[in-house]
Structure 1
């Protein structure tokens, strides 16, 4: 059976361990030639999903099919998959060439074919001149590239990457992230599935973004769609860094009241919603410190590169403000927060999206 160039479809995959849902009714289709980024917080079920796809973990119920075949019953060695782990795994006693060649030799390929594949893969990951080095002579980023080259050399139909950049420093992550996009886009009909906790990574690398939380796929779609139309408050939190500010408010006779103030200007996109209680969302970049606005008290300040993140409480409601530059704000300061009403997302009381901001092309269909 040829498993190449066909979709991989999961339907209602469920797995419970000691009363905890590791996978809950996971339904998704993974397409050949596409990069799928699965984003979720730690313990969301991302690694479990990859292990099920690789055949390393069973499920309680559900189906997994490819080319009409029951993939759950397909032996691991016939699944045509390769997996790169968060903690890169290389054989310390073998040099770079032999690390990459190891699975090819196990598969019985000819010497010439092994040399061709290994050298091609090492060139693709920028390690063409490192064939004879041992892993101990490499940096962390180079060792992760060796693990990736080994997976690429196999030429598998399904490439699984479990947070492969998580253990690297920020600068190296940025560098490899850009390189990975180019590398993965040249994978032909390979299904690439990449897990991450980083929204920027998910958006940059993914052709399709799947948001996972507590074992469930909450939303899947193109990056811009998931970012601009988060289906729920949970998705909005996960897909934004820092998480989107979510707070309670009301609409009465077309008047929007949020965080203790009336959004008299800029909230026209919400005015036709039915009266009642809502949850509203506002990205950290759409909140600023100003001379006039909502009263808040600074609870925490963090500086990251050229940005300052100010955490402030408006009554019992926490906000995060993302500001360009370094700002002299300290714990306990009383500040004024300016909220941009035209950037408000509206969710119902259960947390389901009902309206997107006015700067988006259109509201959610049917709302």
Structure 2
């Protein structure tokens, strides 16, 4: 099964919510929509699922135009971040509900429900009702319904967002295996870059209603085509700053400069933007080629085994992310070490330079 978007748009009250988008989504891996809240992920899913109609363009499933078909005609499943289960039904009947609507034989319904319940460890709960389940069990029920239906396409709209950390980690690890080998196109929307990397597959980066880049997830992370894509695929936010290349030197400020090496050495002299991920800006010197920067610490955070510091160098704001606990003091200057070999370079229009 393939799902192909051909130049689709969505306009509401004269405003383009989804700008012209063409994508070909295939089974065998997760297709991740990654972007901040409001980037257009849910709007795009609604179009693919048939909940909203396109203003222009077409949607094809296995080469068949389904643009004007209803959600039911498209044979899809949709799992939201909210626990959408029928409160008056048992877990069994919640999982079985789309199969009953389709008029499936009772024996086949029982077989599919039990198989899905076993996969998601729900068999002991089949006679319970949603209010008797934990949040994780309720979301497992919604996932089981999607598996039992054997849909052509499964849309998971931030399905783990409302679960606690432990349950989120457990289900995230299980999800690729749950849908493996089922032949369905699986589309997963998230606002977390780390989640996209963990799920693998292919990722469509979204910002302001448009797809900025689409391809294998790890490749996009390593090779963003433009500054917007680099910014979308970074958490904490990627550091960006203006630099000048002159001869064999890159200058960030009067005090911060480095030798242009590798692809940067081939750039024409002039103004560029650089972007570098926070974990390549460290409070500890790790190699001789790192560049020293002194900045005023604005905010510090400790998350598990990592420390982050937001600091200012001149007019530019920077973020460092490093292992361990570091003695930052808000309002005071601190020395950081930036690895220039990990910089992306962009032209003034935001397109990748090297």
TM class by shorter chain equals: over 0.9
Match of 2:50 in 1: 55
Match of 2:333 in 1: 334
Match of 1:278 in 2: 272
| 1:74 positional shift | 2.2
| 1:102 positional shift | 1.2
| 1:59 positional shift | 1.7
Gaps of 5+ in 1: 356-367
Call closer, same or farther: CA 1:259–1:110 in 2, change over 3 Å.
Answer: farther
Count the aligned residue pairs: 349
Match of 1:206 in 2: 200
For 1:13 and 1:288, the matched residues in 2 are separated by 43
Divergent runs of 4+, >6 A: none
For 1:259 and 1:166, the matched residues in 2 are separated by 41
Q: Deviations over 1:169-207 (max 9, x none)?
A: 2222111110112212232x1100110001111122131
For 2:14 and 2:57, the matched residues in 1 are separated by 18
For 1:256 and 1:343, the matched residues in 2 are separated by 14
Select 1:140's aligned residue among 135, 145, 159. Answer: 135
Call closer, same or farther: CA 1:30–1:307 in 2, change over 3 Å.
Answer: same
| 1:268 positional shift | 3.7
Select 1:240's aligned residue among 234, 238, 245. Answer: 234
Q: Deviations over 1:223-260 (max 9, x none)?
A: 12100111111111111111211111011112111254
| 1:15 positional shift | 1.3
For 2:34 and 2:130, the matched residues in 1 are separated by 30
Select 1:253's aligned residue among 243, 247, 251. Answer: 247
Match of 2:82 in 1: 87
TM-score, scaled relative to structure 1? 0.91
TM-score, scaled relative to structure 2? 0.94
Match of 2:91 in 1: 96
SS of the aligned residue for 2:77 comes to strand
| 1:279 positional shift | 0.5
Contact 1:122–1:128 (CA under 8 A) maintained in structure 2: yes
SS of the aligned residue for 1:64 comes to strand
| 1:81 positional shift | 0.6
Match of 2:313 in 1: 314
For 2:226 and 2:7, the matched residues in 1 are separated by 20
| 1:263 positional shift | 3.7
Cα root mean square deviation, aligned: 1.6
| 1:262 positional shift | 4.5
